[in-house]
Structure 1
Amino acid sequence: MTREERRTGPVVVYGATGYTGRLVAEELLARGERVVLSGRSAERLDALAERLGEGVEDVVPAALDDAAALRDAAGRGPVLANCAGPFARTGDAVLAAATAAGAHYLDTTGEQHWMRRVFDHHDGALRAAGVAAIPGMGFDYVPGDLLCHLVGRELQPLRRVTVAYDTQDFGMTRGTMRSALEMMDGRDVVYEGGRWRTGGARPVREHARFPAPLGRRLVARYPAGEILTVPRHLQVREVVARLTAVSIAPRVVAPVLPAATPVLSRLLRGRLKGALDAAIGRLPEGPPEGERRAVRWTIVAIAEGEGGQRAAGVVTGPDIYGLTAHTIAEGAQRLAAPTFTGVGALGPAGAFDAAELLDALAPFGVQWRRDDALAA
């Protein structure tokens, strides 16, 4: 996509000085885009702009409680990329500013509760402004949402779509840890019988099949974004999301994690969340580059038609945070294209062609394929 084919103007990166925000800004600059850096600390923004050099068009400090400054920042370009989590605490102000400024919005969230707010509470204002918002335009939940669409579209109407995640050697940033606290406090929803409802705290002890060498793995409930996005682009009665226990807990603890999740959810609705949040603040900002690049992940999607037909697919790749920077940059360029006409709250597969976008991730090392043996 050439620059002449895109709307003019830089991409505004809010939360630019954070771990993921810096990666997003660097990826955009590597693609020849101009960027406007925004966030709460003028000093840190100036230091980042000096380090990044050419291509940084402006620096716009904007606190979350300063609506005028946020709108000024959002109005500097046709697209705003929000990298400042946890989004349950920050998202409303930034998305409202983008909407008021007439800018498309995307973010790096993994928080299902925030995504639900975008769909339920911001969609009307977005449509009235003629702009789109795509929450979860990072590793969470671009590959999974696209894969679900590709395996399920030919079998509609569908009885169920199941998506299962596995990550290897994933070191989280402070922002991801804080988002995880928001995700695990029991506010998640499930999609059953063709409708969304509160998921509650039901324990799950199941196994999911992954391609070799992973094989059969113990999984836990996962408040994934696909539960919200997949029913908006597929005709389906139930969407199930699972995450391998070893993805989020040491191997000695993983076997008890599925049963312990309800208890943990109740504890996180009390004082424990604040105590853990404070402890997270004393940890390193994120994994070193070598560790970040060493991460490997696998996502499996299985679609079941009403008539019993089944199809499955798998997508794999490296470097969760690097991929998030890649998908945010890819999404920002597509949103800025004159051919993009979407409005309102959208998921990745609702905003873009699923196969085309997934194929566009191949240079980063993302690979996908049909694997119907996983559905047998």
Structure 2
Amino acid sequence: MNELFEPVTVGRLELPNRLFMSPMTRSRAAEGAVPTELAVEYYAQRAAAGLIISEGTQPSVIGQGYIDTPGLHSEEQIAGWRKVTDAVHARGGRMFAQLMHSGRVGHPWLYPDGALPHGPSAIPSGERLYTPEGMLEHPAPKEMTLADIAATVDDFVAAARNALAAGFDGVELHGANGYLIHQFLCGSANARTDAYGGSVDNRIRLATEVAQAVGDAVGPERVGFRVSPRNPSNGISERDPDELYPALARALSRYGLAYLHIMEWDRELTRVIRAAWPGTLILNPKAEPGAPSGTPEQAAAVLREGLADAVTLGSYWLANPDLPARIRAGGPYNVADPATFYGGDHRGYTDYPALVG
């Protein structure tokens, strides 16, 4: 699987391998949505990745969708993330912050003023929020006004600037998994009749406005964008992905972004998007039937085919901080424990053993 270990250029970064770490929510931030010392250790342990993409990080208070997720909208959060990036860089790694506005996937329980979450339309997700007091149904969100949309674009820009102040090498804009940008893309969540709803060109407008504004602010070579075509997460039901995503890829290509990152659900649609996207493409390969996630073997095959320029893996990185060494050795691999994915202490977070030492 030598393909995984060839160098690759992403934006202006010269990266030592094509085996990247996928963004994974872990829900272990401290009060104030500040990363902890455990987060410093967790990410530093995985610095052998060609690129680490952080867990989803909210660009604003109203962008939070889950308990104990980190932010990038306060000085305390910037300082907490600086400890993480310093530790990753000290071990030779590189790291992007994933900026994730959850949109309607939120709840008044999360917000100090008890506000409604925001969304393109007042259509609830149908999902629930976990809290220590029990599960809470997501309410219908507040339909965002044009002023709300403009403020949200500004929040993404401010968070991207904060990410660079925190030492990140760049940012990834989360346009996948049923969160805010994905909600605008999808007609089942977006019933607007203004310039942000209806046609494909209108539904991709928020995505392109955020990408352009963030690229203008921090440099497009420091900005990636993630999509998940056909992903039904968080109440999403896509009606026209075969038209939508090639159009989005073509529109985003105008801004000179560092990469497009596909969380794969449909291999044929991946090929279509690949043809529409002229830049660097990162693929999180679809798992085989019955498997929890993509494998190193699948990742190498994707590179051999030329379907992507780099690949991300999730649970393999979560459970194997020394993943490149294990791949080179032919395994064995630690198996990720789903019971410790979200919340908790060091168990299932920083205590997965390395192959040697």
* TM-score (normalised: structure 2): 0.31
Q: Which has the higher strand share?
A: 1
* TM-score (normalised: structure 1): 0.30
Q: Which has the higher helix share?
A: 1
Is the radius of gyration larger for structure 1 or structure 2?
1
Higher relative contact order at CA 8 Å, sep ≥6: structure 1 or structure 2? 1
